[in-house]
Amino acid sequence: MKYRSSVLVAVCLSVAVLVPSLARSGGFMDGNKLHSMCQREKASFMEGVCIGAITSVADALTELRIQGQYLSGYRACIPSQIQASQVIDVAKKYLERNPSERHFTAFSLVTIALSEAWPCPKK
């Protein structure tokens, strides 16, 4: 549990440093870069970066939801039976369908995509 908390803190600090504002452009990686990486051939290094970026956001959303917290005002209730490939498909499709938003950070776009695909029930 201590390791898990340490990893979560590291992810959150990285996100806080790299993405000061959810919709702010000019972050570490914008949606255009992520979209380009996700279009690369299977099993390429860039595809791995794409997968890692998307699944990291999904993991952060899941961990924060378990703790009752939000990620920049967003929550996603991704069911435990959902496969990583489904999460990746949702994010890729969001990037494909929203080219006018790709100048925003990849982090913010993936967060929005996943929270729209798997919204948490209203309390």
Tens digit of each residue's pLDDT (9 = 90 or more) over 64-122: 999 999 988 999 999 999 999 999 999 999 999 999 999 999 999 999 999 999 999 88
Per the DSSP assignment, residues forming a β-bridge with 25 are 104
Domain extent listing, the chain: 2-19+28-117
Give the ranges where 39-73 is alpha helix by DSSP (H).
Answer: 45-66
Q: How many CB atoms are located within 10 Å of the residue 71 CB?
A: 24
> pTM for the whole thing?
0.77
Q: Distance (Å, rounded) from C-alpha 94 to C-alpha 73?
A: 19
Write out the two tokens for 87. Answer: 């999460």
Closest to 38 (Cα-Cα) out of 94, 108, 80? 94
Judge contact between 87 and 51, C-beta under 8 A.
no
pLDDT at position 27: 56
Question: What CATH number belongs to 2-19+28-117?
Answer: 1.10.890
pLDDT at position 20: 40
pLDDT at position 48: 92
Tens digit of each residue's pLDDT (9 = 90 or more) over 16-60: 434 444 444 455 799 999 999 999 888 889 899 999 999 999 999
pLDDT for residue 14 is more than 90: no
